[in-house]
Amino acid sequence: MEKLRARDYRRMAAEACKPFSGTLALITLIYVLISCAASGISYGILTLLFGGTLFLGYLLAIKKAMSSVKPEAGDVFAGFGNNLSASIVTYLLENVYIFLWTLLLIIPGIVKSYSYACALYLIEDEGLSGNEAITRSREIMNGHKWELFCLHLSYIGWLILSIFTLGILLLWITPKMETAQYMFYRHITGKDLEQIEE
């Protein structure tokens, strides 16, 4: 397997998102607004329940862009389908496990969040159940957590710059970051980056 670096994922993600940058920014805005509204209305309970479900919809938009298909605003709600129960269970378990590890120390909680980074992808791509996805994600990320951390860190300049735009720039940065991370997952699991099933 060819070794890819953070800059390679950033470049490929930027190329994939470029033709649909405006649409992806709009979808990101909708995604964020729904998440914030759900959190405000229910003191975070709805976000805890459906955060993973919303993410699966956001992931569909990313997969479309990677396949050179124009994403649509309605894609955000695509997670409320076949994978609804699995996404709820997985997201709940992720948050519970990370919270419990964080009670010990902050660092173990961060490490575990990287261990579970692929869980929702596995629900979407392989149809795994909640615990299966989390267990498989831990196996996949064994030896790769530092690489993903470096990928996240490579966007630090853009994230700092977004502060000066009152966060507006994040609407364009977030799709690229999420696309880069999904590409990272596909690469370390040996999946073809070009053959994306929607």
Query: For the whole model, what pTM was predicted?
Result: 0.90
Backbone phi, then psi, for 100, in 5-degree steps?
A: -65, -40
Per-residue model confidence (pLDDT) at position 195:
62
- Give per-residue pLDDT as tens, 32-79: 999 888 877 766 788 888 899 999 999 999 999 999 999 999 999 998
Tell me which residue of 123, 118, 87 sits closest to 182, measured CA to CA. 118
- Give per-residue pLDDT as tens, 71-92: 999 999 998 887 888 888 899 9
In the chain, where the domains are located? 6-187
Contact 85, 198 (CB under 8 A): no
Long-range contacts of 122-130 (CB under 8 A, 24+ apart): 123/52, 123/56, 123/83, 123/86, 123/87, 123/90, 124/56, 124/59, 124/60, 124/83, 125/191, 125/197, 127/83, 127/86, 128/86, 129/86, 129/89, 129/90, 130/86, 130/89, 130/90, 130/92, 130/93
User: Cα 188–189–194 angle (5° rounding)?
Assistant: 90
